[in-house]
Every structure is written in structure tokens, then in C-alpha cells.
Amino acid sequence: MRDLTELTSTTDPAWPLIQQWLADAPHVEVLPANREKAAAALLAMQVTLRSAMGAVVYNSGGLLIHHGWLRMLGSGHDRMQRSVPGWNEGRAPLDESGRPAFLLVADDVLGGLFAVNGGALGDALGDVFYLAPDTLQWESLSIGFSDFLAWALSPRLDDFYRDWRWLGWEQEVATLSGDQALSVYPFLWAAGPSIAERSRKIVPMEELFELTLDLQRQMAQ
């Protein structure tokens, strides 16, 4: 197991490039990192600051993108207490070596989940997969975490979610913490009206996560 000095000592850190992406991205809030929490999270993950994931975890409590519509996990903050290692504990399946078979790294306000594949989601190791709330199926985005982060901070995110937004979504979403989400009914995978006409209830993200995975298991039977 590498110590903190080994993980943080690099002549090529990823954070300066990520800061450039952040500077060009609209409506993104970087939650400040707590040094003790950041160090603990980096040690738990055993990733270096050369990686985009390590850079986000060590330099931020998380990112609230598009008024908090997309939540990129970091090392935790009062407004989003979930860290990458903390959120995955007990939620991500483990492989034979005891490492996560996928790693949850982000989610959206509707309960969609983003995870880096460690083997549980198919052969595309290292790819980011999305569990969409309208299909309840894991789908590969065919990109790794660094490209996923760049994509999330680009205008392409608007196109990805265009059909799931409603008039005034910005104000509604901005009132939530990064640990909350919107439970939509009828469920997005069920036939029905547009999301603007469906009921939306604020719930803990933990509750929506458990509901999503339970529904996915039921539908797979």
C-alpha cells in the first residue's frame, strides 16, 4: 500500500488541466476539499494525482455541475458528504481480490448512476458506464474517467439530458444538496407523460440508489 507522499508526488498532476476545463464550464461549483478527508480518501483509493480521479478527490469535496444536476464525487463536503470511497463501501461489488468490480464516481439528480467498470459491467474495463433511469440498464459511454470528466464539463452534457429537463429545472435542482435527488413518478422507464407532468419528490440519494438497484434486479428476473 502506497503512502500519501507516493500518491501526491508527481511532476505531471492532472489538476491544472481540470482547472482549465472548469474555467470554461458554465454553472459548475467546486466544493472545497478538507485536507484530512482528501488525504484519507486518496489513501483509501490508492490513486495518484497524475490521474483525473485522484486529482478530483484530493482537490475537491466534489463538483456540482449544471446547478447540481450532475454530481461528481470527490472527498466529501458538508453540501455533499458522499466521498468516492465512502459511497462505494457496501454498494460496489468486490472482485476476487477484494477490489471494487465497479466504482461509482458520479450520479445525476434523477438517480442515474455513473461507474467505472472494474469487471462487473462487462469486458470494457476502465470505461465509464451509465445506469439510465429510463432503461435501468448499464450502458457504456466508451470513454474512461478523464474523458468522462471533460465531457461532463462540456456543452455535450446539455444534449445528453435535453429530453429530461423541464421549465424551471435550474431553480428546482439548485435547492437540493449533493446528497439528495428527485424521485420521479411514474418512473421514467414507465410509459407516461413528459417529465414536466410527472410528480417529483425530493429524497435522499441513498434511498433512490437502493430503489433503482432493487427495480433493476426485479426487472432482470
Q: Residue 97 has what pLDDT? A: 79
| DSSP element (H, E) containing 156 | helix 156-161
In CATH terms, the fold of domain 4-220 is: SMI1/KNR4-like (3.40.1580)
pLDDT over threshold 80, residue 64: yes
pLDDT over threshold 80, residue 221: no
Where do the structural domains in the chain lie, given as residue ranges? 4-220
For 140-159, what is each residue's pLDDT tens digit?
Answer: 999 999 999 999 999 999 99
| Omega prior to 13 cis, within 30 of 0 | no
Q: Rounded CA gap, 46 and 1, in Å? A: 7
Q: Residue 196 has what pLDDT? A: 96
Q: Residue 113 has what pLDDT? A: 98
Q: Residue 93 has what pLDDT? A: 85
When pLDDT is averaged across residues 108-133 and rounded to a whole number, the result is: 96
Q: Which cell is 173 given?
A: 435542482
For 154-206, what is each residue's pLDDT tens digit?
Answer: 999 999 999 999 999 999 999 999 999 999 999 999 999 999 999 999 999 99
Q: Rounded CA gap, 104 and 174, in Å? A: 22
Chain CA centroid to CA 144, Å:
13
